[in-house]
Protein backbone atom coordinates (compact mmCIF):
# COMPACT_ATOMS: atom_id res chain seq x y z
CA UNK A 1 0.00 0.00 0.00
CA UNK A 2 1.33 3.49 -0.86
CA UNK A 3 0.66 5.24 2.47
CA UNK A 4 1.92 8.66 1.33
CA UNK A 5 -0.43 8.65 -1.67
CA UNK A 6 -3.33 7.55 0.52
CA UNK A 7 -2.61 10.23 3.13
CA UNK A 8 -2.26 13.04 0.59
CA UNK A 9 -4.86 12.12 -2.02
CA UNK A 10 -7.54 10.15 -0.17
CA UNK A 11 -7.45 11.51 3.37
CA UNK A 12 -5.83 14.88 2.61
CA UNK A 13 -6.92 16.65 5.86
CA UNK A 14 -5.20 15.23 8.95
CA UNK A 15 -4.94 16.16 12.62
CA UNK A 16 -1.43 17.47 13.24
CA UNK A 17 0.10 17.96 16.69
CA UNK A 18 2.89 20.20 17.93
CA UNK A 19 3.73 21.64 21.37
CA UNK A 20 2.56 25.19 22.12
CA UNK A 21 4.58 27.89 23.88
CA UNK A 22 3.26 26.72 27.27
CA UNK A 23 4.75 23.27 26.66
CA UNK A 24 1.33 21.69 26.09
CA UNK A 25 0.20 19.59 23.10
CA UNK A 26 -1.93 21.37 20.50
CA UNK A 27 -3.61 19.95 17.39
CA UNK A 28 -4.83 21.45 14.13
CA UNK A 29 -6.40 20.13 10.95
CA UNK A 30 -3.77 20.44 8.24
CA UNK A 31 -4.07 19.61 4.54
CA UNK A 32 -1.36 17.38 3.08
CA UNK A 33 -0.65 18.90 -0.33
CA UNK A 34 1.94 16.80 -2.13
CA UNK A 35 4.18 13.78 -1.74
CA UNK A 36 7.25 12.41 -3.46
CA UNK A 37 10.20 10.21 -2.55
CA UNK A 38 11.53 12.99 -0.26
CA UNK A 39 8.44 13.08 1.95
CA UNK A 40 5.01 14.65 2.43
CA UNK A 41 4.46 18.41 1.98
CA UNK A 42 2.16 20.84 3.76
CA UNK A 43 2.23 24.59 4.26
CA UNK A 44 1.41 27.35 6.69
CA UNK A 45 1.65 31.13 6.93
CA UNK A 46 4.68 32.62 8.63
CA UNK A 47 2.45 34.71 10.93
CA UNK A 48 0.85 31.70 12.61
CA UNK A 49 1.92 30.24 15.94
CA UNK A 50 1.90 26.85 14.16
CA UNK A 51 4.73 28.16 11.96
CA UNK A 52 6.80 29.15 15.01
CA UNK A 53 6.20 25.76 16.61
CA UNK A 54 7.35 23.98 13.44
CA UNK A 55 10.47 26.14 13.25
CA UNK A 56 11.30 25.60 16.94
CA UNK A 57 10.51 21.92 17.21
CA UNK A 58 11.09 20.63 13.67
CA UNK A 59 8.88 17.71 14.66
CA UNK A 60 5.17 16.82 14.32
CA UNK A 61 2.74 13.99 14.90
CA UNK A 62 -0.24 13.43 12.63
CA UNK A 63 -3.23 11.15 12.38
CA UNK A 64 -5.50 10.70 9.37
CA UNK A 65 -8.74 8.72 9.37
CA UNK A 66 -10.51 6.89 6.58
CA UNK A 67 -13.56 5.06 7.89
CA UNK A 68 -12.27 2.71 10.56
CA UNK A 69 -8.68 2.87 9.33
CA UNK A 70 -6.22 5.30 10.88
CA UNK A 71 -2.73 6.31 9.79
CA UNK A 72 -0.42 7.88 12.35
CA UNK A 73 3.05 9.28 11.78
CA UNK A 74 5.54 11.14 13.96
CA UNK A 75 8.70 12.62 12.60
CA UNK A 76 10.97 15.40 11.49
CA UNK A 77 9.90 18.37 9.38
CA UNK A 78 11.94 21.02 7.61
CA UNK A 79 11.06 24.37 6.08
CA UNK A 80 11.72 24.41 2.33
CA UNK A 81 10.50 28.00 1.85
CA UNK A 82 8.59 28.66 -1.37
CA UNK A 83 10.03 25.61 -3.09
CA UNK A 84 7.09 23.56 -4.46
CA UNK A 85 4.61 26.36 -3.56
CA UNK A 86 3.44 26.85 -7.16
CA UNK A 87 3.19 23.11 -7.70
CA UNK A 88 1.05 22.86 -4.54
CA UNK A 89 -1.29 25.62 -5.78
CA UNK A 90 -1.60 23.94 -9.19
CA UNK A 91 -2.50 20.61 -7.66
CA UNK A 92 -4.73 22.00 -4.89
CA UNK A 93 -6.68 24.70 -6.75
CA UNK A 94 -8.85 25.62 -3.74
CA UNK A 95 -5.72 27.23 -2.28
CA UNK A 96 -5.97 29.94 -4.96
CA UNK A 97 -9.24 31.12 -3.36
CA UNK A 98 -7.78 31.18 0.15
CA UNK A 99 -4.58 32.95 -0.93
CA UNK A 100 -5.46 34.74 -4.24
CA UNK A 101 -2.84 36.16 -6.60
CA UNK A 102 0.50 36.75 -4.95
CA UNK A 103 -0.74 36.64 -1.31
CA UNK A 104 0.66 33.10 -1.30
CA UNK A 105 3.99 34.80 -0.54
CA UNK A 106 2.94 34.71 3.14
CA UNK A 107 3.27 30.92 3.05
CA UNK A 108 6.18 28.55 3.60
CA UNK A 109 6.22 24.89 2.62
CA UNK A 110 7.27 22.20 5.10
CA UNK A 111 8.36 18.66 4.30
CA UNK A 112 7.81 15.69 6.62
CA UNK A 113 10.99 13.94 5.55
CA UNK A 114 11.70 11.27 8.18
CA UNK A 115 8.87 9.66 10.12
CA UNK A 116 7.54 6.43 11.50
CA UNK A 117 4.14 5.34 12.71
CA UNK A 118 1.47 2.82 11.98
CA UNK A 119 -1.57 1.84 10.03
CA UNK A 120 -4.41 0.58 12.27
CA UNK A 121 -7.55 -1.02 10.87
CA UNK A 122 -10.54 -1.91 13.07
CA UNK A 123 -13.02 -2.48 10.21
CA UNK A 124 -13.40 -6.02 11.54
CA UNK A 125 -13.21 -5.43 15.33
CA UNK A 126 -12.61 -9.10 16.15
CA UNK A 127 -9.61 -9.18 13.83
CA UNK A 128 -7.82 -5.86 13.93
CA UNK A 129 -4.88 -5.22 11.63
CA UNK A 130 -1.88 -3.03 12.23
CA UNK A 131 1.39 -2.46 10.41
CA UNK A 132 4.33 -0.09 10.82
CA UNK A 133 4.64 2.68 8.24
CA UNK A 134 7.69 4.86 7.63
CA UNK A 135 9.00 7.74 5.55
CA UNK A 136 12.78 7.49 5.06
CA UNK A 137 13.13 6.06 8.59
CA UNK A 138 14.66 2.87 9.95
CA UNK A 139 12.38 2.84 13.00
CA UNK A 140 9.70 0.19 13.00
CA UNK A 141 7.37 1.30 15.75
CA UNK A 142 6.42 -0.47 18.94
CA UNK A 143 5.45 -4.11 19.41
CA UNK A 144 5.01 -6.82 22.04
CA UNK A 145 7.25 -9.86 21.91
CA UNK A 146 7.81 -13.04 23.93
CA UNK A 147 11.38 -13.63 25.07
CA UNK A 148 13.18 -16.86 25.92
CA UNK A 149 12.28 -16.44 29.60
CA UNK A 150 8.91 -18.01 28.68
CA UNK A 151 7.99 -21.09 30.76
CA UNK A 152 5.14 -22.14 28.43
CA UNK A 153 2.29 -21.67 30.92
CA UNK A 154 -0.17 -20.57 28.21
CA UNK A 155 -1.70 -17.74 30.28
CA UNK A 156 -0.96 -15.05 27.70
CA UNK A 157 -2.60 -17.05 24.91
CA UNK A 158 -5.78 -17.46 26.98
CA UNK A 159 -6.09 -13.80 27.99
CA UNK A 160 -5.30 -12.24 24.59
CA UNK A 161 -8.51 -10.52 23.36
CA UNK A 162 -7.46 -10.80 19.71
CA UNK A 163 -6.29 -14.44 19.95
CA UNK A 164 -3.09 -13.39 18.25
CA UNK A 165 -0.64 -15.45 20.33
CA UNK A 166 0.11 -18.89 18.93
CA UNK A 167 2.86 -21.22 20.16
CA UNK A 168 4.37 -18.39 22.22
CA UNK A 169 4.69 -16.10 19.22
CA UNK A 170 2.75 -12.83 18.98
CA UNK A 171 1.33 -11.92 15.57
CA UNK A 172 2.21 -8.22 15.76
CA UNK A 173 -0.02 -7.41 12.78
CA UNK A 174 -3.08 -8.28 14.88
CA UNK A 175 -1.93 -7.16 18.32
CA UNK A 176 -4.08 -4.48 20.02
CA UNK A 177 -1.21 -3.31 22.27
CA UNK A 178 -3.55 -3.83 25.24
CA UNK A 179 -0.74 -5.15 27.46
CA UNK A 180 -2.89 -7.89 29.05
CA UNK A 181 -0.33 -10.58 28.18
CA UNK A 182 2.52 -8.60 29.72
CA UNK A 183 0.54 -8.08 32.94
CA UNK A 184 -0.41 -11.73 33.36
CA UNK A 185 2.92 -13.34 32.49
CA UNK A 186 4.25 -14.88 35.73
CA UNK A 187 7.92 -14.60 34.72
CA UNK A 188 8.01 -11.20 32.92
CA UNK A 189 8.83 -12.96 29.66
CA UNK A 190 6.88 -10.44 27.53
CA UNK A 191 8.45 -7.13 26.55
CA UNK A 192 7.14 -3.99 24.88
CA UNK A 193 9.81 -3.07 22.35
CA UNK A 194 10.63 0.07 20.44
CA UNK A 195 9.72 2.62 23.15
CA UNK A 196 12.41 5.26 23.23
CA UNK A 197 13.62 6.50 26.56
CA UNK A 198 12.83 10.21 26.87
CA UNK A 199 15.98 12.24 27.47
CA UNK A 200 14.37 15.66 27.88
CA UNK A 201 12.05 16.77 30.65
CA UNK A 202 10.41 19.94 31.96
CA UNK A 203 12.48 21.46 34.75
CA UNK A 204 11.72 24.20 37.27
CA UNK A 205 14.93 25.67 38.72
CA UNK A 206 14.93 27.30 42.14
CA UNK A 207 17.52 28.28 44.73
CA UNK A 208 17.98 28.65 48.47
CA UNK A 209 20.85 30.09 50.51
CA UNK A 210 21.94 29.59 54.11
CA UNK A 211 23.56 32.86 55.22
CA UNK A 212 25.63 32.69 58.40
CA UNK A 213 27.31 35.42 60.41
CA UNK A 214 30.49 35.20 62.49
CA UNK A 215 28.54 34.96 65.77
CA UNK A 216 27.04 31.50 65.22
CA UNK A 217 23.74 32.67 63.68
CA UNK A 218 21.93 31.68 60.50
CA UNK A 219 19.37 33.80 58.67
CA UNK A 220 15.97 32.11 58.36
CA UNK A 221 12.74 33.00 56.65
CA UNK A 222 9.33 32.10 58.05
CA UNK A 223 7.52 31.34 54.79
CA UNK A 224 3.86 32.37 54.68
CA UNK A 225 1.05 32.69 52.12
CA UNK A 226 2.53 29.90 50.12
CA UNK A 227 2.00 26.21 49.49
CA UNK A 228 5.43 25.93 51.10
CA UNK A 229 5.26 27.21 54.69
CA UNK A 230 7.53 27.01 57.73
CA UNK A 231 11.10 27.93 58.56
CA UNK A 232 13.34 27.89 55.55
CA UNK A 233 16.24 29.81 53.99
CA UNK A 234 15.68 32.70 51.58
CA UNK A 235 15.48 31.80 47.91
CA UNK A 236 13.19 31.64 44.90
CA UNK A 237 13.06 30.87 41.19
CA UNK A 238 15.85 31.07 38.66
CA UNK A 239 14.63 33.12 35.71
CA UNK A 240 14.96 32.03 32.09
CA UNK A 241 18.60 32.08 30.91
CA UNK A 242 19.73 33.63 34.23
CA UNK A 243 23.18 32.76 35.60
CA UNK A 244 22.57 30.59 38.67
CA UNK A 245 24.87 32.58 40.96
CA UNK A 246 23.28 35.89 39.91
CA UNK A 247 19.83 34.40 40.53
CA UNK A 248 20.84 33.47 44.07
CA UNK A 249 22.21 36.95 44.81
CA UNK A 250 19.06 38.56 43.35
CA UNK A 251 16.64 36.35 45.29
CA UNK A 252 18.41 36.92 48.63
CA UNK A 253 18.38 40.66 47.99
CA UNK A 254 14.66 40.68 47.12
CA UNK A 255 13.70 38.66 50.19
CA UNK A 256 16.12 40.00 52.82
CA UNK A 257 17.57 43.32 51.64
CA UNK A 258 21.08 41.85 51.98
CA UNK A 259 23.57 41.57 49.14
CA UNK A 260 25.55 38.36 49.48
CA UNK A 261 28.99 37.81 47.98
CA UNK A 262 30.53 34.60 46.72
CA UNK A 263 27.63 32.21 47.41
CA UNK A 264 28.98 28.66 47.46
CA UNK A 265 26.98 25.92 45.69
CA UNK A 266 26.69 23.04 48.18
CA UNK A 267 24.35 20.66 46.37
CA UNK A 268 20.91 19.91 44.94
CA UNK A 269 17.51 19.23 46.46
CA UNK A 270 14.94 17.94 44.01
CA UNK A 271 11.57 16.24 43.46
CA UNK A 272 9.06 15.40 40.72
CA UNK A 273 5.53 16.76 40.67
CA UNK A 274 3.00 16.84 37.80
CA UNK A 275 5.72 15.65 35.37
CA UNK A 276 7.99 18.57 36.29
CA UNK A 277 11.44 18.01 37.74
CA UNK A 278 11.77 20.68 40.46
CA UNK A 279 15.38 21.38 41.41
CA UNK A 280 16.59 23.67 44.20
CA UNK A 281 20.24 24.75 43.99
CA UNK A 282 21.38 24.92 47.61
CA UNK A 283 23.98 27.58 48.48
CA UNK A 284 25.62 29.02 51.56
CA UNK A 285 27.22 32.42 52.07
CA UNK A 286 29.03 34.17 54.90
CA UNK A 287 29.84 37.49 53.21
CA UNK A 288 27.04 40.03 52.92
CA UNK A 289 26.24 43.72 53.25
CA UNK A 290 23.12 45.87 53.55
CA UNK A 291 20.22 46.15 55.97
CA UNK A 292 17.90 43.31 56.81
CA UNK A 293 14.22 43.65 55.89
CA UNK A 294 11.42 41.16 55.37
CA UNK A 295 9.29 40.74 52.25
CA UNK A 296 5.83 39.44 51.32
CA UNK A 297 7.38 35.97 51.25
CA UNK A 298 7.76 35.99 55.05
CA UNK A 299 9.71 37.47 57.97
CA UNK A 300 13.48 37.05 57.97
CA UNK A 301 15.54 36.99 61.16
CA UNK A 302 18.69 35.53 62.71
CA UNK A 303 18.61 32.51 65.01
CA UNK A 304 21.30 30.49 66.77
CA UNK A 305 22.65 27.83 64.49
CA UNK A 306 22.16 25.17 67.19
CA UNK A 307 18.43 25.95 67.34
CA UNK A 308 17.77 25.49 63.63
CA UNK A 309 16.67 21.85 63.69
CA UNK A 310 14.28 22.57 66.60
CA UNK A 311 12.30 25.13 64.55
CA UNK A 312 8.95 24.37 62.85
CA UNK A 313 10.79 23.64 59.61
CA UNK A 314 9.28 23.74 56.12
CA UNK A 315 9.18 20.34 54.42
CA UNK A 316 12.59 18.87 53.72
CA UNK A 317 14.66 21.57 55.45
CA UNK A 318 16.42 18.98 57.60
CA UNK A 319 17.80 17.53 54.35
CA UNK A 320 18.85 21.00 53.13
CA UNK A 321 20.66 21.44 56.45
CA UNK A 322 22.50 18.20 55.78
CA UNK A 323 23.52 19.44 52.31
CA UNK A 324 24.84 22.83 53.48
CA UNK A 325 26.94 21.06 56.07
CA UNK A 326 28.60 18.97 53.36
CA UNK A 327 27.40 15.63 54.60
CA UNK A 328 25.66 14.93 51.28
CA UNK A 329 25.39 16.79 47.99
CA UNK A 330 21.99 15.63 46.76
CA UNK A 331 18.55 14.92 48.17
CA UNK A 332 15.62 13.57 46.19
CA UNK A 333 12.21 13.82 47.82
CA UNK A 334 9.43 11.33 47.23
CA UNK A 335 5.82 11.17 48.40
CA UNK A 336 4.94 8.25 50.64
CA UNK A 337 1.18 8.87 50.89
CA UNK A 338 0.80 11.70 53.42
CA UNK A 339 4.50 11.67 54.19
CA UNK A 340 7.46 12.98 52.26
CA UNK A 341 10.77 11.19 52.38
CA UNK A 342 14.18 12.39 51.33
CA UNK A 343 16.95 10.14 50.08
CA UNK A 344 20.42 11.62 50.46
CA UNK A 345 23.38 10.91 48.22
Query: Are the C-beta atoms of residues 117 and 73 closer than 8 Å to each other?
Result: yes
Per-residue binder mask for ligand SF4 (CB under 6 A), 174-203, x = binder: -xxxxxxx--xx-x-xx-------------
Is residue 33 involved in binding ligand SF4 (CB under 6 A)?
no
Residues 137-156 that bind ligand SF4 (CB under 6 A): 144, 146, 150-156
Q: Whose Cβ is closer to ligand SF4: residue 29's or residue 126's?
A: 126
Q: Whose Cβ is closer to ligand SF4: residue 174's or residue 295's?
A: 174
Is residue 160 involved in binding ligand SF4 (CB under 6 A)?
yes
Q: Whose Cβ is closer to ligand SF4: residue 30's or residue 156's?
A: 156
Residue 289 phi, psi dihedral angles, 5° rounding: -145, 165
Q: Which residues contact 131 (CB under 8 A, 6 or more apart)?
A: 118, 119, 173
Q: Whose Cβ is closer to ligand SF4: residue 95's or residue 181's?
A: 181
Q: Which residues contact 127 (CB under 8 A, 6 or more apart)?
A: 162, 174
Query: Are the C-beta atoms of residues 168 and 207 closer than 8 Å to each other?
Result: no
Residue 240 CA: distances (Å) to CA of 49, 134, 203, 226, 324: 21, 37, 11, 22, 25
Query: Are the C-beta atoms of residues 344 and 322 closer than 8 Å to each other?
Result: yes
Q: Whose Cβ is closer to ligand SF4: residue 80's or residue 131's?
A: 131
Binding residues with ligand SF4: total (CB under 6 A): 29
Rounded Cα distance between 197 and 179, Å, is 19
Is residue 120 involved in binding ligand SF4 (CB under 6 A)?
no
Q: Whose Cβ is closer to ligand SF4: residue 26's or residue 176's?
A: 176
Is residue 170 involved in binding ligand SF4 (CB under 6 A)?
yes
Could you tell me which residues are beta bridge partners of residue 82? none
Is residue 169 involved in binding ligand SF4 (CB under 6 A)?
no
Q: Tell me how far, at minimum, the Cβ of 132 lies from ligand SF4, in Å.
A: 15
- Residue ranges of alpha helices (H) inside 160-310 are 180-184, 244-256
Residues making contact with ligand SF4 (CB under 6 A):
144, 146, 150-156, 159-162, 164-165, 168, 170, 175-181, 184-185, 187, 189-190
Amino acid sequence: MDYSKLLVEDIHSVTMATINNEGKPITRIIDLMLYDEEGIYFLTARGKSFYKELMDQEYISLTGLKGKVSFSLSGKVKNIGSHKLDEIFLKNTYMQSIYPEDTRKALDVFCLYEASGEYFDISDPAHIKRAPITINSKEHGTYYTITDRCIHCGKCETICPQRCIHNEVIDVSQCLHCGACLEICPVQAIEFKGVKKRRKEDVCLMNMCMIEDDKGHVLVQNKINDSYTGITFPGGHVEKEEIFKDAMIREVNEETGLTIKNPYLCGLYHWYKHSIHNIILVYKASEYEGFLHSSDEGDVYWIDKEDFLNQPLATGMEYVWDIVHKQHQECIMSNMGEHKRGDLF
